[in-house]
Amino acid sequence: MKKILRRSSFYLGLLLFTMFAVFPVIWMVITAFKQDGDLYNVANNPFIYNLPPTLKHITFLFTHSSFPTFLRNSAFIGVVVVIITLLLAVPAAYSLSRLVGHWGERSGIAVFLVYLIPPTLLFIPLYQIVSFLRATNTVWALILVYPTITVPFCTWLLLGFFKSMPRELEESALIDGCSRWQSFLRIALPLAAPGIATCIVFAFALSISDYIYAAVFVSSTAARTVSAGVPTELIRGDIYFWQSLMAAAAIVSIPLAVAYGLLFDRLVKGFQS
């Protein structure tokens, strides 16, 4: 009896937390398929379809808005940022964990602190740098600045990864005839593959998520990302295209959530080191 009580209170707690997390998302998904007549009637129960659901607003999103452009820009920026991030963060993390002595191994928190410097502190001088480089209103402005967010984060993540890898494996490679560089390429790098995969997901997600830089550095629709483009394009003055807004948000967020969710345990481990 006590056991049942315990179990049910456990699931009740879990359910409450989950409801808090997903209620806004459920509301978002419900809205995306509603007809105008249904949505804008205060008397209606907002949680059910009083009129049959419609795909009209999703079609609108893809055919009559710049959403496809935003998606393309976000994807392009994401891919390039991921590549830059890996090229910078993987060698840096390996160097800190193995090659530059004790202070390197302990630099984890310091590296993460760089990630925590908020864009709001930096966006004004960065805006000047970007305009100095004549990169405003192009995707390259964002490609230039996003690694300031992703490199510290991924270096920190990989630092923990390399530190947890047994040193003897690389030392064994050194004795077996590799130079330090070769042992990094042939032993450490393949073994860090799960960590690198995690970095790819996060670098991509972080570059999609940014709003401030995207809003400040880019004002032309052609170069906008999803994060900055959706709120500006689909909110015109007082007119809100709610269903399309919600559909756009859902289309971007749900795949990201799945990727994050599958990496949940790895993140927990990342904070243990």
Partner 1 sequence: MATLELRGLKKYYGNTHAVDGIDAAIAEGEFLAILGPSGCGKSTTMRMIAGLEAPSAGEVLIGGKSVTHLPPRARNVSMVFQSYALYPHMSVLENIAFPLKARGVPRTERDAKIKWASAMLGIEPLLQRKPGRLSGGEKQKVALARSLVRDPALFIFDEPLSSLDAQVRTMARSELRLLHDRTGVTTVYVTHDQIEALGMGDRIAIMQHGRVRQLGTPQQLYDQPADTFVAGFLGSPPMNLLQRGGRIIGIRPEHLLPAPPGTTDDQSFELQVRIKRLEFLGTDWLIYGLLETGAQGQKVLSKVSPGIAATLQEGALQTFRVERMCLRFFDPATGSRVDDGPR
Partner 2 sequence: MARADTEVRVSLGDREGLLGTLMLAPAFLYIAALVGIPFFLAIALSLSSATIGDPHIHGFVGLANFAHAMHESAFPIALRNSIIVTCATLILTLVLATAESELLVRDFRGKWLWQILLILPWAMPVSLAAVDWLWLLDSEFSPLDWLLRQAHLLGPGTPWGPANHLYYYGREWLGLGAITMINVWRLLPLATIIVLAGRTAIPREIFEQAQVDGAGFFRVLFRITIPALLPLLVVAGMFTALLVFGDMTVVALTTRGGPGYATQLLPYWAYLKGIEGGALSEGAAVALFMFPVLLAGAVLALRMAYRADSN
Q: Which of residues 194-223 bind partner 1 (CB under 8 A)?
A: none
Question: The tokens of 93 are what?
Answer: 């993390």
For residues 233 to 262, the per-residue mask of contacts with partner 2, x marking binding by CB under 8 A and - elsewhere, is --x----x-x--xx-xx--xxx-xxxxxxx
Alpha carbon distance 99, 102 (integer Å): 9
Piece of 54-62, 65-73, 161-169, 207-215 that binds partner 2 (CB under 8 A): 207-215
For residues 68 to 107, the per-residue mask of contacts with partner 1, x marking binding by CB under 8 A and - elsewhere, is ----------------------------------------
Piece of 12-20, 140-148, 165-173, 251-259 that binds partner 1 (CB under 8 A): 165-173
Report if residue 195 touches partner 2, rule: CB under 8 A: no
Q: Please report, as residue ranges, which positions from 28 to 67 form the binding site for partner 2 (by CB under 8 A).
A: 28, 31, 39-40, 42, 45-47
Exactly one of 182, 209, 232, 253 binds partner 1 (CB under 8 A); which one?
182
Exactly one of 191, 201, 212, 250 binds partner 1 (CB under 8 A); which one?
191
Count of residues engaged in binding partner 2, rule: CB under 8 A: 100
Report if residue 166 touches partner 2, rule: CB under 8 A: no
Given a contact cutoff of 8 angstroms between Cβ atoms, the answer to whether 93 and 152 are in contact is no
Piece of 109-117, 142-150, 166-174, 206-214 that binds partner 1 (CB under 8 A): 166-174
HEC-encoded secondary structure of the chain: CHHHHHHHHHHHHHHHHHHHHHHHHHHHHHHHCCCHHHHCCCCCCCCCCCCCCCCHHHHHHHHCCCHHHHHHHHHHHHHHHHHHHHHHHHHHHHHHHHHCCHHHHCCHHHHHHHHHCCHHHHHHHHHHHHHHCCCCCCHHHHHHHCHHHHHHHHHHHHHHHHHCCCHHHHHHHHHCCCCHHHHHHHHHHHHCHHHHHHHHHHHHHHHHHCCHHHHHHCCCHHHCCHHHHHHHHCEECCEECHHHHHHHHHHHHHHHHHHHHHCHHHHHHHHHC
Exactly one of 65, 66, 73, 155 binds partner 2 (CB under 8 A); which one?
155
Q: Is the Cβ of residue 45 or residue 63 nearer to partner 2 in the bound state?
A: 45
Count of residues engaged in binding partner 1, rule: CB under 8 A: 18
Binding site for partner 1 (CB under 8 A): 166, 168-169, 171-180, 182, 186-187, 190-191
